[in-house]
Amino acid sequence: CMNYPELEKSRKFKRAKKKSRILHKNMVEGEMAHFDFQDADTEEFFRKGLQDMYEDWDAARLTNALMQYGSYLIYREEFSNRDAAMLRRLFSARPPVRILYISEISHGAFRTAFDGQGECPSLRKIHFDRIDCEGQDLGIDRCEVLKNVHSLDLGSVNVGRGFAQEVASYIRQNESLEELWLHVSCSPDQDIGPIIESLKVNTTLREFGLNNLGYVAQIAFGTQKASAKLSADVLMGFAEMLASNSTLQLVDVRDSFPIERDMVSSLLAQEEHAGVFKRICIEWPEQLLPELTELIRNEACCPKLHVIVSSFVDERVLREFLDAVVAFNGLLELHIFPNHGQQSPFERKHNVVAQRIASLLRRTTTLREISCYMHADQRHLIAILHALKRNTSVTKFVIDAVALTGELMKSLSELLAVNKTLVYVCILYSIGSLPREVEDVLQALRTNYTLTTLDFGIYSDHYPQVHEINVLLQRNVLLKNRAAQFVTTGADINDEEGVDALRKVQASSCLVEEVQELTGKTSELALQEIRAALARSPM
C-alpha cells in the first residue's frame, strides 16, 4: 500500500542523503582549512554541531554563512567532559559561535566548558535542556563567556541552595540579556526572592519565564524528590516587581505557583497593579473566569491566554468568557485545558467552546496559536476546520476529537488543500481507527508545502498511512531548509532548486523562524530578507 511516487523518492533520497554526507564531509574539509581549529578532534566536534542546521549545505555557501553570521551548534547527545573541553576551544576559534544548544550536561562538564573561560563576544543565544547541578552551584554569574548573551534558556535539576542568588547576580551583571527562561526543579520553600529583586532594577530584559519542573523532573530525569509548586504569594512579588520595571513585556509563570482568587482580587483593587495582568502570563482556573472576562473586555490581559475549566463550570460564565475572547482583537494565543480531576460528560459545554472557537477563527487576524483539549461533537469540529480554511493568521492548531471519522478527515483534507498558513496541526483521538478518508489527507498534502507537523497522537503511529504522511512532511521540512539557505546566502537566481523551494514555502512562518535562527536578525528583518529574495527570483 506504500507504492506511490513520494515514497520511492523518499527511498532514493535516503540513499542519496547517505552518499551526500560523505561528499559533504569531503567538500567541507577544504573549506575548514580557512578556520583556526587547534586539532582534528575539535574540528570534528564542530562539524557534529553543524549537522542539524547546515546538513547538505554547499561548502562555499556554508563557509560564507558561518563567517558572516556565526555558527548555530546543536548537540543532542549527553555532553561528556571531553566534549566540554572541545567546546571550550571553539569559544576562541573561528568561525564564531553565535547560538549553542546543549541537550544534557553534567555539573562537572558544565564547569569544564565554562569555568574561567574568557568572553565570547559572538555568543548571543544559549539553550540548556537539562543541567544536573548535583546539588551544587553552577557559577553562571562568574561565567565570562555568558556576558554578552542576549537569550539564555536554562533547564536545571537538583539545583544548589545558592541557585537563586547566582541567577540574580547574573541578571544584575549582564547588560545585554533580553530573554531569560528558567526551567527549575525547586522545592516549595525555594527562595526566588533574589531573582525578583534583581528584576526590579533590570532595564534590558524583555521576556522572563519561570517553569517549576516538579514531578516532570522526577519522572523524566530521575531527580531525587518531586517538588511542589511555589507559594501563591510569589504572584504578589512578581506584581510588585512589574510595578517598578517598565521594560519587561512578558513574565511567563504558568504552572509555577497556584493562582488564588483573593490574591488576584487584591491586585486588581490596587491602582499601581492595574496593568500587571497585561504582562504576566498565568494559568487561569475557572473560578477566576469572571475576573479574566472583565480584563479581556478592557484589553488589560496578556495576549497569550491559558485557561483550565471543568465540567462543573457555570455555562453562563463560560459563554461570557468566550464571547469576550471572540471580541478581543489583540489575542495571540488561546489554550483551553480540562480539569482532569473534575471530569464528567458535558458535551453541551464542549460544543459551546467549539462554537465560539469557530467564530473566533472566522474573524481574527492576530491569533497565532490555538489548542483546545475539550472534545466537542463532529459537527462542531468540522465547523472549526471549515473556519480555518479562510484564516491566514493561525499557524498552530490542536484539538481533541475523541474519534476520527471519515467526514472529519474529509474536512481536514479540504483545509490542507487551501490553507498555506498552518505549519502545525494536531488532532488527538482515543477511540476507533484511522478511516480510509486519510487517503484524501495524503492527496491534499502532496500540494501543501507549508505544513511540517500533522499529529494524530500515539494511537495512530502503527498505521502505514501515517508513515506516508511523515514522508511528505519531511519533504516540506527539507524545502523550508533549502529556501532558508537560498535566502541567507545571497538568493542566486541561477540556483533553480533554491528558487523552487522559496516559491513553495514563501508563506511559511517556519521559514521566517529559520532565517532568523541562521542570521540572528529580528523577525521583521528576516521577513524583509525573504521578500527581497522573492523579488529577485524568477517566479
CB atoms within 10 A of CB 100: 24
229 within domain boundaries: yes
The CATH number given to whatever domain includes residue 192 is 3.80.10.10
Q: Identify whether residues 160 and 55 lie together within a single domain.
A: no
Across 9-23, 289-303, 350-364, 512-526, least confident range: 9-23
Query: Is the pLDDT at 228 greater than 80, yes or no?
Result: no
Cα–Cα distance measured from residue 91 to residue 97, given in angstroms and rounded to the nearest whole number: 7
Asked whether residue 1 carries a pLDDT value surpassing 50, the answer given is no
Q: How far apart are CA 296 and CA 327, in angstroms?
A: 9
Given the C-alpha cell 580557512, which residue does it identify?
Answer: 34
Same domain, 266 and 128: yes
Q: How many domains does the chain have?
A: 3
Q: Is 251's pLDDT higher than 80?
A: yes
| Residues 166, 246 within the same domain | yes
Q: What is the DSSP letter of 341?
A: T
**Positions of E strands within 30-142:** 71-79, 97-106, 125-132
- 3-state SS class at 369: strand
Domain stop point among 211, 245, 277: 277
Both 259 and 164 in one domain: the answer is yes
- What does the pLDDT average to over 260-265? 90
Q: Does residue 261 share a domain with residue 133?
A: yes
User: Does 442 fall in a domain?
Assistant: no
All three cell numbers of 202: 533590570
Residue range 463-522, pLDDT digits in tens: 888 999 999 999 999 999 999 999 999 888 889 999 999 999 999 999 999 999 999 999
Which of 178, 181, 172 is closest to 202 using CA atoms? Answer: 172
Beta bridge partners of 180: 152, 208
Q: Is residue 168 part of a domain?
A: yes
Is 456 part of a structural domain of the chain? no
What residues make up the domain containing 517? 485-536
User: Residue 255: which pLDDT band, with cuts at 50, 70 and 90?
Assistant: confident
| Position 539 confidence tier, pLDDT thresholds 50, 70, 90 | low
CB neighbour list of residue 112: distance below 8 Å, 6 or more residues apart:
81, 84, 85, 88
DSSP string, 243-295: HH-SS--EEE-TTTS---HHHHHHHHTSGGGTTGGGTEE-EEEGGGHHHHHHH
**pLDDT per position as a tens digit, 161-178:** 899 999 999 999 999 999
Q: Name the domain boundary from 277, 303, 319.
A: 277
Residue 372 lies in a domain: no
Question: Is there a single domain that holds both residue 70 and residue 182?
Answer: no
- pLDDT band for 8, please (50, 70, 90 cuts): very low
Q: How far apart are CA 213 and CA 248, in angstroms?
A: 23
* Integer angstrom CA distances of residue 474 from 57, 113, 370, 469, 509: 17, 34, 23, 9, 16
Statement: residue 19 has pLDDT above 50: no
How sure is the predictor about 13, in pLDDT bands with cuts at 50, 70 and 90?
very low
CA distances from 506 to 441, 442, 450, 530 (A): 22, 22, 8, 8
pLDDT at 190: 57
SS (H, E, C) 217-230: HHHHHCCCCCCCCC
**63 and 128 both lie in a single domain:** no
Cell of 275: 496593568
Distance CA 455, CA 513 (A): 21
For residues 251 and 132, state if they share a domain: yes
- Evaluate if residue 243 carries a pLDDT over 90: yes
In this prediction the pTM is: 0.87
Q: How many CB atoms lie within 10 A of CB 520?
A: 17
Query: Given this model, what pLDDT does residue 406 score?
Result: 94
Residues 93 and 224 in one domain: no
Residue percentage of the chain with pLDDT more than 90: 64
Q: Does residue 317 sit within a domain?
A: no
Asked if residue 382 belongs to a domain, the reply is no
Helix (H) or strand (E) holding 425: strand 424-431
Residue 88 and residue 154 share a domain: no
DSSP state of 202: -
153: number of Cβ within 10 Å: 16
Residue listed under C-alpha cell 497556584: 258
**One domain for residues 175 and 83:** no
Q: Report yes or no on 240 lying in a domain.
A: yes
**Residues 89 and 148 placed together within one structural domain of the fold:** no
Q: Which of 277, 293, 326 is the C-terminal boundary of a domain?
A: 277
